[in-house]
Structure 1
Amino acid sequence: MSSEQSADTTNDLLVEREGAVMRLTLNRPQRRNALTDDVLLRLGAAVRQANADRSVRVIVLTGAGDKAFCAGADLTPGDTPFKPDFARMQLPLADLARAVHDCQVPIIGRINGVCMAGGLGLFGLCDMAVSVEEARFGMPEVKIGIFPMQILTILRDLIPPRFLNQMCLTGQPIDSKTAFSLGMLNKVVPAAELDAAVDALVADVMAVSPLAVRRGKYAMHAVEAMSFHEMMAFTESNISAMIQTEDAREGLAAFNAKRPPVWTGR
């Protein structure tokens, strides 16, 4: 598939389009793809761009190289996101999390290596994730005297409480096998099979109704803070609207005609 890559490939974040797929690559392998304010801000901008573009069907998030997905915040003086700025109301990682929360495009994490601290936060923002066997997952912040405050917010519903407590309070990582057993990963594969596994998941998403996916992801986030009766009222009104869409009519017609559907996304 042909790729349309952003003009400046020396960027710390590469944004590429392959048809309906947007690929975001943290491009700092020399720093294990550690995060800076600039990278986080550009990630947020790319997610918002994808959400506004109805031709984007899937986002794939990964890191450059074969050692690390993301090792967390860059702790190098001058590059770190931990610079104090009390005039700033919103921090870049939190702002990225808000952008992802409002994004109706599915995000697939291609976890190609170490996934630590802020990198685990990025991992938690993904809707699905495929990992290499060698990957390690952890929140080592307590080892340098801080705590994964924002990351904890992102991971609360992804990691079971006892393991979340252990990872936050001890700083000790877990391996990919454990992460898979906890339900954090969709699949764990040898490194040589990573791209094929991610591409298969992308193909699965691309095969279904783009409108159903976008409206469905919107609903999944919308009901998070609702009571049971609020959730039922919200979802019953939404299913009635979805049945009237072109994609729903096409899906039912294709099912009855025993043919592949042709989605319009409307």
Structure 2
Amino acid sequence: MDVSMDSAAGGDLLVRREGAVLRLTLNRPQRRNAVTDALLRGLRDAVKAASEDDSVHVIVLTGEGDKAFCAGADLTPGDTPFKPDYARLQTPLGELSRAVHNCRIPIVGRINGLCMAGGMGLFGLCDMAVAVDTAKFGLPEVKIGIFPMQILTTLRDLIPPRMLNEMCMTGRPIDAATAFRLGLLNRVVPFAELDHAVEGLIAELLAVSPIALRRGKYAMRAVESMDFHQMMAFTESAIPSMIQTEDAREGLAAFNERRTPQWRGR
């Protein structure tokens, strides 16, 4: 397995490539992996680069250490996302969210601990998530006089409305078991089993057609704002091009020949 390691945002983001898997690790454990503008821009750039690389099939997002996935924005003076900049038309979190929305690669969240505020925004950007059983999820912004404005964009279709209202308006967190019951998590495991559970999910994603995943995720994003008739027309028109891909032909042949398909990603 080819392994390469790079860093961005002054070392606050670790970028690790292992074959078809890109691993992005928030590397600020001393600050509970709180994000800065630079760190958000590093994530944005990494996602954009992966989106243009057909050899990347899965992205994994996690935090360094065993305490926190991401505690939110770094609120200390300095490079904080809350530093006023009235000339800025788009925020780094918004830029990252747009990059993820346009990304056709499955993103798996490895939630290794506390997930709060801006961390919930990153969590909401993931397509699937596995969490430790001690993880906490919360939107405590009201406790410091603000509100999770941008984060609502990624959470409004993920968290049931009444629960989202309660989390936003009271700042009270929920535990991993509750998050799982609400459908926010795919797996909840003890910390010792976290990597095994994440790797199992990655293996399942790597076993299927990468072009089917890319086209499928594109379609899932495209129909979000469509009504029923628009969705039906869009998906109907997507079928002919889908079945003409090399992977579709290989998948059908492998099924009929009772063998494992050899995906080419085309």
Same fold (TM over 0.5): yes
Work out whether 1:108 is the aligned partner of 2:96.
Answer: no
Partner of 2:47: 47
Percentage of pairs with the same residue: 72
Query: Within 2, Cα distance between the matches of 1:262 and 1:78?
Result: 50
The letter of the residue matching 1:219 is A
Distance 1:145 1:8 in 2: 31
Specify the alignment match of 1:64 in structure 2.
64
- Cα RMSD after superposing both structures: 1.1
Query: What pairs up with 1:27-46 in 2 under 5 angstroms?
Result: 27-46=27-46
1:49/1:98 CA distance change after superposition, 3 Å: same
Structure 1 runs of 4+ with >6 Å offset:
7-10
Tell me which residue corresponds to 1:166: 166
Q: Which runs of 5+ in 2 are unaligned?
A: none
Unaligned residue ranges in structure 1 (runs of 5+): none
Whether contact under 8 Å (2:7, 2:13) holds in the other structure is: no
Partner of 1:126: 126
Q: C-alpha offsets along residues 8-61 of structure 1, whole Å, 9 cap, x if unaligned?
A: 796000001000000000000000000000000010000001100000000000
Residue 3 of structure 1: how far off its partner (Å): 1.9
Residue of structure 2 in register with 1:144 after alignment? 144
CA distance in structure 2 between the aligned counterparts of 1:33 and 1:237, rounded to whole angstroms? 43
Length-normalised TM-score, structure 2:
0.98
Listed one character per residue, the Cα deviations across residues 40-84 of structure 1 (whole Å, up to 9, x for unaligned) are 001000000110000000000000000000000000001211011
Pairs aligned (count): 266
Q: Kindly tell me: are residues 78 and 221 of structure 1, through their superposed partners in 2, closer, same or farther at Cα, counting changes over 3 Å?
A: same
Query: What letter corresponds to residue 62 of structure 1 in structure 2?
Result: T
> Counterparts of 1:251 and 1:10 in 2: how far apart (Å)?
44
- Partners of 1:181 and 1:246 in 2: CA distance: 39
Alpha-carbon distance, 1:198 to partner: 0.3
Distance 2:141 2:28 in 1: 21
Q: How big is the shift at 1:140?
A: 0.2
Distance in 2, Cα, partners of 1:7 & 1:113: 22
| Cα deviations by residue, 1:142-198 (Å, 9 ceiling, x for unpaired) | 000000000011100000001000000000000000000000000000000000000
Rate the CA distance shift 1:8–1:219 in 2: closer, same or farther, 3 A. closer
